[in-house]
Amino acid sequence: MKRLSILGSTGSIGVSTLEIVAEHPDRFRVVAMTAGRNLDLLQKQIRRFQPRLVAVLSAADAEILKDALGASGPTIVSGIEGLIACACHEEADMVLSAIVGAAGLIPTMAAIEAGKDVALANKETLVTAGSLVMAAVARKGVRLFPVDSEHSAIFQSLIGHRRGDVRRLILTASGGPFRNRSLAELQRVTPAEALAHPNWSMGRKISIDSATMMNKGLEVIEARWLFDLPGERISVHIHPQSVVHSMVEYQDGSVIAQLGIPDMKAPIAYALSYPERLPLNLPPLDLCRLGSLSFEPPDGHRFACLELAYGALRDGGSAPAVLNAANEMAVEAFLAGEISFLAIPEIIRATLANHRVLPLNHIDEVLRADRWARDEARKLIHSSV
Ligand code: NAD
Ligand code: MG
């Protein structure tokens, strides 16, 4: 029996994780869960999974939940302290980190510092603070299992091979809903169109990141830290079918890939049950029916975010945290109808250009860079509208 703390239980990844738990009640028990604002769904989840501890963002929401659940309900806490308490719950064997954005960093770090193994969906944790997070993982001797499908594929493709034999990692990208749009067309795309991903059903922020290809840029940085390889040895191939989830190329030219239908349940389950594989209620991959798989290079002209991410990775230090924070601000502004789709990379580029890169020795420096970038991006957004 593995006891789980689920950070972000009401999100797309959180819900899929709870489906796996529900299918395997003999394997998993939920001891803690956290959510932002979706109280209705959270209440249903609490009644179904009976965690001991629950955290929400605001103290007012915590009171509403307490009233609704009564004395027999779990302990309800709130705010960042509440998130940390769930991340460090003494009964948790593993923490699933599935909050969206840089808000996931502090609770994920707290879980590592408390000696918990982490199943990591929140890629922003590694993007903003990769060197500090990996140092803490090594110091605490905990394990970090990737949930992101590309990184799970690479993790699986590395098993049984020598790290020194790896030549490069190849991340696949669907190309998102706008893969074939011209620059002129991209100028006019709406949030609703950008939210409609062809292959994956995901939260709003990552859906926009997929449409701009910033998601792949964040994943290149995530891979740099998870697998300890420089950006020059991490490539991206556009693969519209999302069947080959990613690949590892070895020095003899062999390429090992992991394939499957595009459903996050598979990589989530593998992170939870490694090294075992759980039976999952998913349709099989039918390659004959699919007929063909295709690959093409990414177009940096139409999708500038990918190159911005490679640049931030090269600059190092605080640059990726600034890239990430500016992206979060720009995505929010796009979703609110304040800026155009093509303004997203422009806001990020301008924020990075105004930033003096500093080395990161402490998590507070990450938070300072994050705050600076949000302020800077906000100014740029308001001066652009
Ligand atoms: P989502 O928006 O569907 O859910 C996010 C969860 O975090 C919700 O429970 C929400 O209530 C909570 N939350 C939001 N803001 C918060 C805050 N400030 N403080 C505390 N909690 C907060 O997001 P998602 O699509 O499930 O993605 C979660 C993470 O997993 C992201 O980092 C994303 O990049 C990564 N990821 C998602 C997918 C996917 O298929 N959805 C795939 C790979 C990686
Ligand atoms: Mg991914």
Domains and CATH numbers, the chain: 2-146 (3.40.50.720), 149-300 (no CATH)
* Chain CA centroid to CA 239, Å: 20
Expressed in angstroms and rounded, the spacing between residue 306 Cα and the centre of ligand 1 is 21
CA-nearest residue for atom 18, ligand 1, is 103
Q: How many whole angstroms from 268 Cα to the centroid of ligand 1?
A: 14
Substitution candidate for ligand 1 out of 6, 7, 10, 12 with most atoms within 8 A of CB: 12
pLDDT attached to residue 111: 98
Annotated binding residue at 215?
A: yes
Tell me the HSE value of 138 on the side-chain side, using a 13 A CA sphere. Answer: 9
Q: What spacing in Å lies between the alpha carbon of 286 and ligand 1's midpoint?
A: 30
Residue 79 marked as a ligand binder: no
pLDDT of residue 385: 63
Please tell me the predicted confidence (pLDDT) of residue 99: 98
Intervals of the chain under pLDDT 70: 385
Beta-carbon contacts of residue 69 (< 8 Å; ≥ 6 apart): 43, 46, 47, 76
- Contact residues of ligand 1, CB 6 A cut-off: 8-14, 35-38, 57, 98-100, 103, 121-124, 148, 200, 202-206, 264
Instruction: Look at residues 287, 236, 165 and name the one whose alpha carbon lies nearest to residue 157.
Output: 165
For the CA of 124, the nearest atom of ligand 1: 32
The full DSSP string for 48-71 is: HH--SEEEES-HHHHHHHHHHH-T
pLDDT value for 219: 98
- For residue 367, what are its two tokens? 């938070």
Q: What is the CA(121)–ligand 2 centre distance, in A?
A: 9
